[in-house]
Structure 1
Amino acid sequence: MKMDPEKRTPLYRERLLHIIILGGGTLLLLAFVILRYEGFFAMLRYLTDTLRPLLLGILFASILNRPFRRFEAALLKLNHRRKNRFSQRFCRVGALFATVLMTLLILVGIVCVILPQLRQSIGLLTEHSAFYGENLRQWLTANRMEFILQWLSGQQASRMLEMAKEYLPTVLAKTYDYTAGLIRCIIDIGIGAVFSVYLLADSQRLKQQAADIVVRIAGKKRQQRLAEGTRMICMTFARFFSSQLTEALILGCLCYVGMLIFSFPYPVLISVIIGVTNIVPYVGPIAGTVPCTAILLLVKPDCALWFVLFIIVLQQLESNLIYPRIVGHSVGLPPAWVLTAIVIGGGLWGIGGLLIGVPLTAVIYTLLFGKEPQTAASKENIT
């Protein structure tokens, strides 16, 4: 059955108008990005800096949403067995309290157990730096590597000293900026944590309000599509960060146990560095192994090579056996996409970009190709 041309013409014109407006807006945006890319990225950095507390709150809420849902499901299941049942609101408040308490206990454990040992290790390393330097010199001499000492004591040492004198005032001048940035980061994290609690507490009402607003503006069908897209974005970020944090915790614990077994020095300091840097995929293990190897070269040079071999074996064991069984699949992007996301994210937003670049790229991948990236059975590693 064919539609009447008089009824088809307005619909056709309306769709054509939408296509022209959308295409024209896209072309204008691309032209602005290409011609004024510096201003575009500056505006993007300004927006992210301004909205950082809220973005951190959304990130924290997406990470804590999993334990919050599990606590809520357990309380609801327990509540159904009672004769005098509590309200669903009471169960949500109890689940939120349990989630916040669990998070605080983890943070207190880190502060009370790990930080004192870290401070002690760093203090000992700084205090005995001269002794460790002499120890390295003797080790190089004993292993017939005097050419390294001669190279360091020649013109290269003079150049390094001149560079240090040149850049030292700049570093000292920027100390205030770094301190102010650290204080602002702590404040943003605090505001984000409080905001995440409010998001978890009123998640149902906020979802309903957002759905009502979108329905009134764009209609029911577009609201459903937008809800599916938002759900996909939240799941991608939550899955990535929960997987990476779990992996970092497992790897840090295994590294600590292995260092105790092989009697490597500074096990707490090195294990924390390995675990924290492993949050960044692919690049993180390399970035963590280099400074740890440098520390061992100063403290106990004979252990440096064995430590590198130990980390390689540990990475392969964790990636191929432990990670797939305990953590499961993460975003599933190919290594080329992951490295591209890390480079671009780190260049735009620094350390924060290293963390959010991979899940953000996974979201863009899904939006472009209409399907999620294929997850691998085991995570490839570059060490």
Structure 2
Amino acid sequence: MKKYLKIGITGAAILASGILCAFVLFKMRVIIELLKGITGILKPFLYGAVIAYLLAPLCNKIEEKLFQTFPKANRKAKRFICFIAIVISLCVALAIVWMVIMLIIPQVWDSVMKIIDMVPQKITILNNWIEHMLENQPELQAYFEEFANQAESHINSLLNVDTIQKVQSIINSLSVQVFGVLGVLKNISLGFLISAYLLGSRKLFGAQAGLILHGVFPDKWARIIEEEIRYTDKMFNGFLVGKIIDSAIIGLLCFAGLSFMGFEAPAFIGVIIGITNIIPFFGPFIGAIPCGLLLLLENPMHCLYFIIFIFVLQQLDGNVIGPKILGNTTGVSSFWVLFSILLFGGMWGVVGMVIGVPLFAVIYDIIRKLVYRGLRKHKRESMITDYEEKYHKS
């Protein structure tokens, strides 16, 4: 009787799983829209969780130092010390954000105004240069003139659209952008507020998670999951915090170098290079291309010097600064680093490019442990030893 009952339960579970999978496949678009709506509502909590996670190491360090300074603090004093550590951590984060904004906005404005002033002159110079190059090429000159006439007529047709429609479209576009910026600022502000609560309750949440884990899973699996969660935390925290510190150093070195060479907008370019350097592998190129184009409009030789300087700076980062700060944090080869950036960057954009490497390192570690467990189960320990000695011997 028990045998048939188990078979019946198994069959019902398989049937229910099949129905659920079919429902998910047929309603995938609705489910995705629902998830997007929920994610939009919970954005402040997501921002707060990210901010709290990044500030947790700093908060822990400040707490540790304060507890060492006041070893005989009672329970109320310890709570006050935790509060002070949270306030200091948030103040440091806000000060960094404020400094970056104050560096970027004035220089962005100056750069945009210079570009607006420069563009007509540069276009005239470019036209004269092209005409000079095509003096002895009548066919190419005719083709270029036809292209220029078409472009001019297209621009004129755009400019001749009804003025009311143009003004209305511009206002609509600006309003959308303004509301978008205000929405982001609102989410970030709420995120900082939520991060304060998360930092204050991080130990409580950790204890509650431990209770749930041991209450749901057997002790063996609970310990395995705990170990993997600690590894994941170590991987993400070490990589992200180390990369932020590394990128801040690169941004400062870029600012110092460009200021010494007398380039335009050194603070703006330094901030862009530092921020994009957080993205592994592709970050330096993503930041260098727009900055190089900005310098090209001002002075082509400055653009050439900038490219050489960025190449030297990235070599210094890749061979000296980065290894000193990050070490071999992920334990993943260069091929898998490139693979993870392309894969998760294609799935989640810039966020995927930033978190792709540590996320892939965690997946890689789980697969490695499962494979090693299977080899030990089948009495193949010698294969593990040979592999480690041949490919991972330090």
The question of 1:155 aligning with 2:147 is answered: yes
| Distance in structure 2 (CA, Å) of the matches to 1:249 and 1:288 | 14
The aligned counterpart of 2:379 is none
TM-superposed deviation, 1:35: 8.5
TM-superposed deviation, 1:332: 4.2
TM-superposed deviation, 1:320: 0.7
The aligned counterpart of 1:94 is 84
The aligned counterpart of 1:206 is 205
8 Å CA contact 1:136–1:301 kept in 2: the answer is no
Q: 2:45 aligns with which of 42, 54, 61?
A: 54
The aligned counterpart of 2:306 is 307
Matches within 5 A, 1:300-379: 300-370=299-369
| Distance in structure 1 (CA, Å) of the matches to 2:358 and 2:261 | 36
For these two proteins, the number of residue pairs brought into alignment is: 357
Q: Describe the SS at the equivalent of 2:70.
A: helix
Deviations 1:61-81 (A, max 9, x none): 12111111110110111112x
Matched letter for residue 65 of structure 1: A
The aligned counterpart of 1:254 is 253
8 Å CA contact 1:139–1:301 kept in 2: the answer is no
| Distance in structure 2 (CA, Å) of the matches to 1:339 and 1:27 | 36
Any stretches of 5+ residues in structure 1 without a counterpart?
A: 1-8, 372-383
Matched letter for residue 316 of structure 1: Q
| Distance in structure 2 (CA, Å) of the matches to 1:244 and 1:67 | 15
Instruction: Report % sequence identity.
Output: 28
Distance 1:295 1:326, change over 3 A: same
Distance 1:266 1:90, change over 3 A: closer
8 Å CA contact 1:136–1:298 kept in 2: the answer is no
Greater CA radius of gyration, 1 or 2? 2
Q: TM-score, normalised by structure 2?
A: 0.73
| Distance in structure 1 (CA, Å) of the matches to 2:227 and 2:141 | 62
8 Å CA contact 1:343–1:354 kept in 2: the answer is yes
Q: 1:127 aligns with which of 117, 121, 124?
A: 117
| Distance in structure 2 (CA, Å) of the matches to 1:150 and 1:276 | 45
Q: For structure 1, which segment, 19-28 or 83-92, has the greater mean C-alpha deviation from structure 2 after superposition?
A: 19-28
Matched letter for residue 320 of structure 2: L
TM-superposed deviation, 1:321: 1.3
Matches within 5 A, 1:231-310: 231-310=230-309
| Distance in structure 1 (CA, Å) of the matches to 2:328 and 2:123 | 44
8 Å CA contact 2:103–2:268 kept in 1: the answer is no
Q: 1:66 aligns with which of 52, 57, 63?
A: 57
Q: Describe the SS at the equivalent of 1:313.
A: helix
| Distance in structure 1 (CA, Å) of the matches to 2:15 and 2:368 | 23
Distance 1:269 1:97, change over 3 A: closer
Q: For structure 1, which segment, 245-254 or 148-157, has the greater mean C-alpha deviation from structure 2 after superposition?
A: 148-157
| Distance in structure 2 (CA, Å) of the matches to 1:259 and 1:232 | 40
8 Å CA contact 1:260–1:267 kept in 2: the answer is yes
Deviations 1:79-125 (A, max 9, x none): 12x69897432322221122122222222323344433333333333
| Distance in structure 2 (CA, Å) of the matches to 1:302 and 1:149 | 28
Q: 1:103 aligns with which of 93, 97, 112?
A: 93
| Distance in structure 1 (CA, Å) of the matches to 2:14 and 2:134 | 66
Matched letter for residue 61 of structure 1: A
